[in-house]
């Protein structure tokens, strides 16, 4: 094997410093500034935090979303998740990232910050987990009732 010359070697780019654009429903805009790392093997910046990657829309290519807000979007804002991320493949990728803790979320709040599920920093606190359980249970009940209502003959 021969060594690559300096011209053939891929250049290592410095991480991009970007600001999160996301504003959760009923919450205030996230102002977190974070770094997007350069993937040398692909020759481009990682796509994980690129909102255009998830939505597959050209107008979102220059918008970035932090890990906390992606987790919050997936866990607590399901309607927005389903509405904005329309590709089944991208939904599955994000689901895998969140469920496998690929985001290396360092800050899990165990007590509520007083602002509830609307803030990204609140994900994981006990009261929000309880709210999530209640919402999931009510959603199951609603689905059962919807199925039952379809079976009941309509009165004329």
Average pLDDT score over the chain: 78
Q: Considering the domain boundaries, does residue 5 fall inside one?
A: no
Q: How many CB atoms lie within 10 A of CB 115?
A: 13
**Between the CA of residue 137 and those of 20, 133, 144, 154, what are the distances in Å?**
32, 6, 11, 27
In contact, 30 and 68? CB cutoff 8 Å: yes
Q: Considering the domain boundaries, does residue 56 fall inside one?
A: yes
Q: Considering the domain boundaries, does residue 112 fall inside one?
A: yes
Dist. CA 63–CA 107, nearest whole Å: 23
Q: Considering the domain boundaries, does residue 9 fall inside one?
A: no
Of residues 125 and 120, the one with the higher pLDDT is 125
Domain count across the chain: 1
Range of the structural domain that residue 52 is part of: 16-151
Q: What is the pLDDT of residues 55-69, one digit of tens each?
A: 999 999 999 999 888
What number is the average pLDDT over the span 104-127? Answer: 50
Is residue 51 predicted with pLDDT exceeding 80? yes
Q: Considering the domain boundaries, does residue 60 fall inside one?
A: yes
In contact, 64 and 49? CB cutoff 8 Å: yes
Dist. CA 129–CA 123, nearest whole Å: 8
Owner of token pair 């990657």? 53
Q: Considering the domain boundaries, does residue 91 fall inside one?
A: yes
């Amino acid at each position: 094997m021969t060594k690559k010359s300096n011209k053939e070697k891929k250049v290592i780019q410095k991480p991009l410093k970007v600001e999160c654009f996301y504003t959760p429903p009923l919450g205030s805009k996230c102002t977190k500034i974070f770094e997007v790392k350069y993937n040398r093997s692909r020759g481009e910046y990682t796509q994980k935090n690129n909102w255009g990657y998830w939505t597959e829309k050209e107008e979102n290519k220059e918008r970035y979303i932090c890990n906390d807000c992606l987790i919050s979007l997936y866990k607590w804002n399901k309607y927005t998740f389903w509405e904005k991320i329309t590709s089944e493949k991208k939904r599955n990728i994000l689901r895998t990232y969140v469920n496998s803790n690929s985001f290396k979320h360092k800050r899990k709040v165990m007590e509520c910050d007083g602002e509830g599920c609307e803030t990204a920093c609140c994900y994981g606190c006990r009261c929000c987990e309880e709210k999530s359980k209640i919402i999931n249970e009510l959603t199951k009940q609603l689905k059962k009732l919807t199925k039952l209502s379809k079976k009941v003959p309509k009165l004329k």
